[in-house]
Amino acid sequence: MEVILALIIIIVLLTILGVKGEMIVAGIIGLICLGIGAMGLMFLYMCIRLMLSKRRKAQFVRIDTAPKGGFKVAYYAIDGAVYPCVFPSEMILNDKMYRPERTYTVMYSRRMGKVFDIWTILTCVLGLICSAFMCGGIVYLLIGVFR
In this structure, is residue 130 part of a structural domain?
no
In this structure, is residue 134 part of a structural domain?
no
Q: Is the pLDDT of residue 57 over 80?
A: yes
CA 7, distance to chain mean position in Å, is 23
In this structure, is residue 8 part of a structural domain?
no
pLDDT: is 19 or 101 the higher one?
A: 19
Range of the domain at 94: 53-116
pLDDT in the model for residue 60: 87
In this structure, is residue 1 part of a structural domain?
no
Quick one: pLDDT band at residue 32, thresholds 50, 70, 90?
A: confident
Q: What's the whole-model pTM score?
A: 0.79
In this structure, is residue 31 part of a structural domain?
no
Residue 73: how many other CB atoms lie within 10 Å: 23
In this structure, is residue 4 part of a structural domain?
no
> Looking at 1-147, which runs of residues are DSSP E strands?
54-65, 72-78, 81-84, 103-109, 114-116
Mean pLDDT of 96-106: 82
In this structure, is residue 144 part of a structural domain?
no
In the chain, the number of structural domains is 1
Q: Is the pLDDT of residue 130 over 90?
A: yes
> Where on the phi/psi map is residue 94: left (φ > 0), alpha (ψ -120 to 50), or beta?
alpha
Mean pLDDT of 28-52: 91
Quick one: pLDDT band at residue 21, thresholds 50, 70, 90?
A: confident
